[in-house]
Structure 1
Amino acid sequence: MIRETGAEPTHAVIWLHGLGADGHDFEPIVPHLRAAARRPVRFVFPHAPVRPVTINGGMAMRAWYDILGMSIDRDQDEAGILASVASVHVLIDEQIESGIEAGNIVLAGFSQGGAIALRTGLARTEALAGVMALSCYLLQADRLESWSQPASARVPVFMAHGEHDPIVPLALGRQAADRLEAAGYSVEWHSYPMPHSVSPEEIQAIDAWLEAIWS
């Protein structure tokens, strides 16, 4: 699904939803982003494929990869992760081919989508404008240096998390931010008194971050 804030977009945000949701999940946020109203931005909200999810009893739902156990930052389906990373690379390439510079593209995601956003955005051979990772964790953190690319080292990373998140514990998000900072990434970290969700204060911080990286 695509939504544009003006004709002939010069900027883009590819926003990946969380487990069990779909591409419509974050569409309502667009009108609240003044940074997107100040310039023509194309928002791309893809749908993850439907697949059985082991941790949810094998129920079929939209998921970027299978989650195999309770250690959600480690018990994943690596083939599914790599397939989703490849599909998101294609989405980014399509925006570049349409005339939007890589340096104007933000890759964003929530929960599982945020994990894929980090895993994909930091593996690009050309630097994106930024990566936004909400209420998530870092996939394959122990192999960061093997899959990340030198160009990604200068990509700004925005991370935010709920302090009362029962799905993805705050500690996993903080560990991801610490791991990235230790590797030299510039991470803007926020936490909010909320569960596994997005708050108005978080949207304001996202808006300010987008304006800063696009200015």
Structure 2
Amino acid sequence: MSANLLPAVEITTAPTPTHAVIWMHGLGADGHDFEPVVDELDIDRLPPTRFVFPHAPQRPVTINGGYIMRAWYDILSQDFSGRREDAAGVIESAAQVEALIARENARGIPDSRIVLAGFSQGGAIALHTGLRHASRLAGVLALSTYLPLADTLAGEAGEANRDVPIFMAHGVADPVIPHDFARRSADQLTAAGYPLAWKTYRMEHSLCLEEVRDIEDWLATVLAA
């Protein structure tokens, strides 16, 4: 298993973590991108936690002229009216995230104490993987993102995670993934019965301090459960 694991940045809030957050970065970034968020959290509100920030593989990205960069999947089009994401890439990345979950299991952290998190492309992978995962997770954190391969979820959803807590957050002025497009994903999940918390912020395609405080509150709740 270790030979196929994605490289990752790891931060532990205590010597012996009992919980884990696996957090995927956005297109063109790497695992260091959300490292600073840990310093912004009040770790006294969280159980001993290992934050895992994997680096996505390098791959050509169609909308960027085929330029090779870190990406969880290829983005085929700027058009939000049809499927933009490369299905094979999404499925491949989900399998790599599953391997990271299995490593946390091997290190003594059960699925029920693991949160899948991500921003933009990484958030799409967190949603895709978490909602199809076979065992109950602690939660799914999806920031400035949308539900990929949305038309396949109903037939592929994992029964154990049909009531998994989901936190989705988005900037009202996001020029990369339009707010209304992301909101349609949230509405689809709510209609399917998922307990989803939706938050919006006066920002673009980014993270803000108010959002970090809300993430902290949500993590404190789902990791305590």
* Interval of TM-score (by shorter of Structure 1 and Structure 2): over 0.9
Corresponding position of 1:76? 85
Corresponding position of 2:188? 179
**C-alpha displacement of 1:188:** 0.4
Structure 2 residue 199 is matched with structure 1 residue 210 = no
Q: Output the CA distance in 2 between the equivalents of 1:114 and 1:36.
A: 25
Q: Output the CA distance in 1 between the equivalents of 2:223 and 2:87.
A: 33
Structure 2 residue 70 is matched with structure 1 residue 25 = no
Q: Output the CA distance in 2 between the equivalents of 1:71 and 1:44.
A: 32
Q: Output the CA distance in 1 between the equivalents of 2:180 and 2:72.
A: 22
Q: Which amino acid aligns with 1:23?
A: G
Structure 2 residue 83 is matched with structure 1 residue 89 = no
Q: Output the CA distance in 1 between the equivalents of 2:30 and 2:103.
A: 20
Q: Which amino acid aligns with 1:81?
A: V
- Where 1:115 maps in the other structure, the secondary structure is helix
Q: Is the 8 A contact 2:141 2:166 kept in 1?
A: yes
What CA RMSD, in Å, does the superposition of the two structures yield over aligned residues? 1.2
Q: Is the 8 A contact 2:46 2:223 kept in 1?
A: no
Identity %, equivalent residues: 54
Corresponding position of 2:113? 104
In structure 2, runs of 5+ residues without a counterpart are 1-8
Deviations 1:141-175 (A, max 9, x none): 11211121111111100000000000000012111
Corresponding position of 1:190? 199
- Where 2:162 maps in the other structure, the secondary structure is helix
Q: Which amino acid aligns with 1:3?
A: I
Deviations 1:171-196 (A, max 9, x none): 12111110001101000000001000
Structure 2 residue 28 is matched with structure 1 residue 8 = no
Corresponding position of 1:158? 167
In structure 1, runs of 5+ residues without a counterpart are none
Which of the numbers 203, 209, 213 marks the counterpart of 1:200?
A: 209
Corresponding position of 1:143? 152
TM (norm. structure 1) is: 0.97
State the number of aligned residues.
Answer: 215
TM (norm. structure 2) is: 0.93
- Where 2:217 maps in the other structure, the secondary structure is helix
Deviations 1:102-146 (A, max 9, x none): 111000000000000000011111110000000001011112111
